[in-house]
């Protein structure tokens, strides 16, 4: 279990690093476009590329956010729950997250395959964009895997 937890941690850090590169690229592109717009020389297709990069930023941060439990948790009521019920709800949440995002990753992958097979390109720049779709599927798979590892750790934790 320790190695699986370590491996998902490494995967999530790699994806987070790639997401950081994507957000820096997005920032430089958007800023450059604004500055060049002043000179009436905007980049063509900026909105498209910013959209693709934004999707990567979000998808690549999901697993790391799940690992650190940095996502928004509505705990107005759950803080009042007894400890046993809180553990049960947390375990169910990990199961639900793992299953839900596994289905999302699968369906996004299927969509990416459809785009690839039909040779679809983006509207403005006419670039292939299925790699961005596949990358988003990897991000969804990472959150699913992270939640699954959290679930397994809870289920097989040694009582001490």
Q: Of 139, 141, 114, 143, which is closest to residue 129 (Cα–Cα)?
A: 114
Number of neighbours of residue 55 by Cβ within 10 angstroms: 17
Number of domains in the chain: 1
Q: Provide the domain limits for residue 125.
A: 2-155
Q: Of 91, 65, 87, 70, which is closest to residue 78 (Cα–Cα)?
A: 87
Does the residue 160 lie in any domain? no
Those residues whose C-beta lies under 8 Å from the C-beta of residue 90, and which sit 6 or more positions away, are 154
**How confident is the model over 48-74, as pLDDT tens digits?**
999 999 999 999 999 999 998 876 666
Instruction: Give the predicted TM-score (pTM) of the model.
Output: 0.90
Does the residue 100 lie in any domain? yes
Q: Are 32 and 43 in contact (CB under 8 A)?
A: yes
Does the residue 20 lie in any domain? yes
Number of neighbours of residue 43 by Cβ within 10 angstroms: 16
Phi then psi dihedrals of residue 121, to 5 deg:
-130, 165
**How confident is the model over 1-38, as pLDDT tens digits?**
889 999 999 999 999 999 999 999 999 999 999 999 99
């Amino acid at each position: 279990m320790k190695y699986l937890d370590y491996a998902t941690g490494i995967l999530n850090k790699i994806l987070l690093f790639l997401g950081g590169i994507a957000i820096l690229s997005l920032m430089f592109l958007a800023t450059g476009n604004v500055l060049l717009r002043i000179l009436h020389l905007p980049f063509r297709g900026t909105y498209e590329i910013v959209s693709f990069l934004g999707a990567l930023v979000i998808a690549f941060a999901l697993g790391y956010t799940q690992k650190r439990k940095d996502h928004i948790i509505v705990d107005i009521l759950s803080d009042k729950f007894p400890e046993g019920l809180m553990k049960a709800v947390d375990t169910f949440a990990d199961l639900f997250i793992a299953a839900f995002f596994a289905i999302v990753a699968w369906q996004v992958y299927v969509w990416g395959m459809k785009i690839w097979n039909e040779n679809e390109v983006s509207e403005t720049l006419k670039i292939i964009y299925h790699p961005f779709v596949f990358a988003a599927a990897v991000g969804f798979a990472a959150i699913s895997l992270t939640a699954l590892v959290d679930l397994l750790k809870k289920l097989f934790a040694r009582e001490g």
